[in-house]
Amino acid sequence: MKYRFPDNFLWGAAASAPQTEGAALIDGKSKTIWDYWYEIEPERFHNGVGPKDTSNFYFNYKEDIKNMKNINFNSFRTSISWARLLPDGINVNDKAVEFYNNVLDEMNKNNIKPIMNLFHFDMPLIMQEKGGWENREVVEGFKYYAKTAFRLFKDKVSFWTTFNEPIVPVECGYLADFHYPCVKDMKRAVEVAYNTMLASSKAIKEFKDMKCEGKIGVILNLTPSYPRSNDKEDVKAANLADLLFNRSFLDPSVLGEYPKELLDFIKENKLTPYFEEEDLNIIKENTVDFLGVNYYQPRRIKKKESEIKDTDILMPESFFDYYIWADRKMNPHRGWEIYEKGIYDISINIKENYNNIPWYVAENGMGVENEKRFIDDKGMVIDDYRIDFIKEHLKWLHKGIEEGSNCFGYHLWTFMDNWSWLNAYKNRYGFYRVDLENNLNRSLKKSGEWFKEVSKQNGFN
């Protein structure tokens, strides 16, 4: 076999509670920012589809886990809903405990290793009303939530992660208008990013203090920033993008401290958040055991080609511009660049600059709009484009592993088509199709059949 992966390699997929569970406001779960935002601005959501029902994993988990087993998953990552487990932030919801215990038992019974994440963009509304990640009281609330989850489920979970893509609520909620609370303020964005990092470290400290068995990590979307040229200003711009979007979480999570260049930039632009000296010790002493890495597309950066006006709101893009690479290959169904080598570049960066920490591909995937047009006469989605996408990324990942990068798994986003924030079901990513017009029935796509053999063989020719 030409592309064989290490023994005990994790093959599976990733999902999240808010995107799959449904049952948004039943069995004691309180509102998240998504439930609230949909109530007040339903027109912002694609086709008016909000978070209420999603893919109904809450009711269908047994069938879904059976489907995972059917295509030889040995692992699956999802998240716990903070608003379901602690609806008022303090008291445990017994219905939630029962549900998560049932899910974990079902996964373990089927030899599917659970990787449980604590936060996937789904801030409980009661916490957002206190200021969300701008308020250190919410950091303490998250620490309490993490401690509660560890206490309840630690015997059934050996891989935990604190956050999925913590830069995304910063970027989409405080620098752009894509996530609630739709603030555009770089100073507040830095505050949110810092407090999120502190919350992650405090959760890790609880995990260690409780002497939980297993490992705890974080999942970061490490989007490589490639400069347009070797021109000094282009390289400087790409380095700044990397500092802001990647290293702002990567360095403190793995190395225990922020890059000096980033701190200098924050200070120079009067963006320094409130912090206490003890915070820095907590961050330094509570680094992750492993990394999850989400990779979809690269970031192409060039120097800023227009002056910043005094009237402009300060944003990361005040300091650099994006550009279109002439040789780029596109996903025509989604509008994103496909650059498979990026996953290799990430693997070597982790090996050379981050102590070769154990890591896995926590998300990689290809979204396709209107996938119904690829259904054959037997009702199967013939998604050869997704097979090619996964295969080419796995080839580059294999090369990184052969060169010594300590990667232990690959997870696709996602197991079954699921609801995605403002886009609802517009872009499909799953191994299984979810039929919105027929009771959310699941049906295997061609890529799922292909992946079944890859995971069985631990590689492919």
Q: Read off the DSSP letter of residue 363.
A: E
d(CA 276, CA 260): 18
The SS3 of residue 161 is strand
**β-bridge pairing 407-413 and 427-428:** unpaired
Query: Is 191 a catalytic site residue?
Result: no
Q: What are the tokens at 130?
A: 């206190």
Query: Is 39 a catalytic site residue?
Result: no
Question: Which DSSP string do the residues of 172-238 spell out, in sequence order?
Answer: HHHSSSSSTT----HHHHHHHHHHHHHHHHHHHHHHHHTT-SSEEEEEEE---EEESSS-HHHHHHH
Total residues belonging to the chain: 461
Using CA atoms, how far residue 377 sits from 126, 297, 381, 385, 432, in Å, is 49, 33, 10, 19, 17
Q: Out of 21, 106, 134, 165, which one is annotated catalytic?
A: 165
Q: What are the tokens at 131?
A: 């200021």
CB-count burial class (<10 Å; 0-12, 13-18, 19+) for 260: exposed
Q: Which neighbouring-strand residues pair with 273?
A: none
Q: Out of 106, 340, 363, 371, which one is annotated catalytic?
A: 363
What angle separates helix 186-209 from helix 277-285, to the nearest 10 degrees? 50
- Give every CB contact of residue 98 below 8 A, 6+ residues apart in sequence: none
Among candidates 180, 190, 218, which has minimal Cα distance to 202?
A: 218
d(CA 410, CA 206): 28
Among all residues, which ones are annotated catalytic?
165, 363
